[in-house]
Each structure stands twice: as structure tokens, then as C-alpha cells.
């Protein structure tokens, strides 16, 4: 029995750690509609194309809230630099929306989509 426990505990522990580290693709999926980062980004792209700046400000607030809900789930399964890139995109978006620059807003939104896709690769 003692030998079984000696082998069982490390194997289970390593298995759990491996599952957490490889589960980023599953963990970044929204668990509720308020956590769906990529749908908020896609909606923001539509609003940016028609230059609806009021809706864009609301969209960025929704993206920020959703992103802050997703970060704790994925922090152990993705690289910190990848998470940092999305946070930088959000900061740049706030600036481009406040200056009402359509081109840089669309650039940042599309870059955020790319960073989201690369998050767990």
C-alpha cells in the first residue's frame, strides 16, 4: 500500500499539471456570454467600420471586462507575453478610439484577433 501511494501521488500530480498546461485552448473558450472576448472584438470591428464611436467605447469596456475574467483561467497554460500583447492591444484601442482614428482602431482590433488565435499555439 505504501509503495502504491508513493507512485500514485506524483503521477496524479504530474497528470493534473500537464492537463492544466495543455488545456489553454479549452480554458479560453467563454463559459458565459459575458466572457466571449472574440465576439466582442468582432462586434467592435463592425462598429469601427461604420465609425460608431459611442458603441466602440462600450465594446472596449465589454472586451476589457471579459478579458479580465479569462486571464485567471489561462494564466498557467499560455505564455505571459501573449497575454501581455492582448492587454497592449486594449490600451492602444482606447487611445485610437478616443482620437477617433478608424485606421488604427481597425488595425488594433484585427491584431487582437490574431493574438487571440495565437494564444494557445
Q: What is the pLDDT of residues 43-70, one digit of tens each?
A: 999 999 999 999 999 999 999 999 999 9
Q: What is the pLDDT of residues 1-52, one digit of tens each?
A: 788 888 898 999 999 888 888 877 777 888 888 889 999 999 999 999 999 9
Cα 57-60-63 angle, rounded to 5 deg: 155
| Cα distances (Å, whole numbers) of residue 8 to 11, 12, 87 | 5, 6, 40
Question: For the whole model, what pTM was predicted?
Answer: 0.83
Classify residue 13 as exposed, middle or buried by CB count within 10 Å of its CB (0-12, 13-18, 19+): exposed
**pLDDT computed for residue 94 by the predictor:** 93
Q: What is the pLDDT of residues 82-110, one digit of tens each?
A: 999 999 999 999 999 999 999 999 999 99
| Cβ neighbours of residue 97 closer than 8 Å, sequence gap 6 or more | 53, 56, 57, 60, 105
Residue 18 belongs to a domain with what CATH number?
A: 1.20.120
Which of these, 57, 36, 33, 37, lies nearest to 47 by C-alpha position?
A: 57
| Total number of domains in the chain | 1
- Angstrom distance (rounded) from CA 87 to CA 36: 16
Q: Taking a C-beta distance cutoff of 8 angstroms, is the pair 28, 85 a contact? A: no
Q: For residue 6, what are the domain limits? A: 2-117
Amino acid at each position: 500500500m505504501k509503495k502504491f501511494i508513493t507512485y500514485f501521488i506524483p503521477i496524479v500530480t504530474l497528470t493534473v499539471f500537464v492537463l492544466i498546461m495543455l488545456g489553454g485552448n479549452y480554458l479560453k473558450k467563454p463559459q458565459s456570454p459575458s466572457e466571449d472576448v472574440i465576439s466582442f472584438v468582432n462586434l467592435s470591428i463592425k462598429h469601427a467600420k461604420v465609425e460608431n464611436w459611442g458603441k466602440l467605447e462600450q465594446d472596449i469596456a465589454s472586451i476589457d471586462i471579459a478579458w479580465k475574467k479569462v486571464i485567471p483561467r489561462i494564466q498557467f497554460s499560455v505564455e505571459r507575453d501573449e497575454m501581455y500583447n492582448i492587454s497592449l492591444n486594449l490600451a492602444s484601442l482606447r487611445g485610437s478610439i478616443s482620437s477617433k482614428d478608424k485606421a488604427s482602431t481597425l488595425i488594433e482590433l484585427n491584431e487582437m484577433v490574431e493574438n487571440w488565435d495565437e494564444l494557445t499555439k
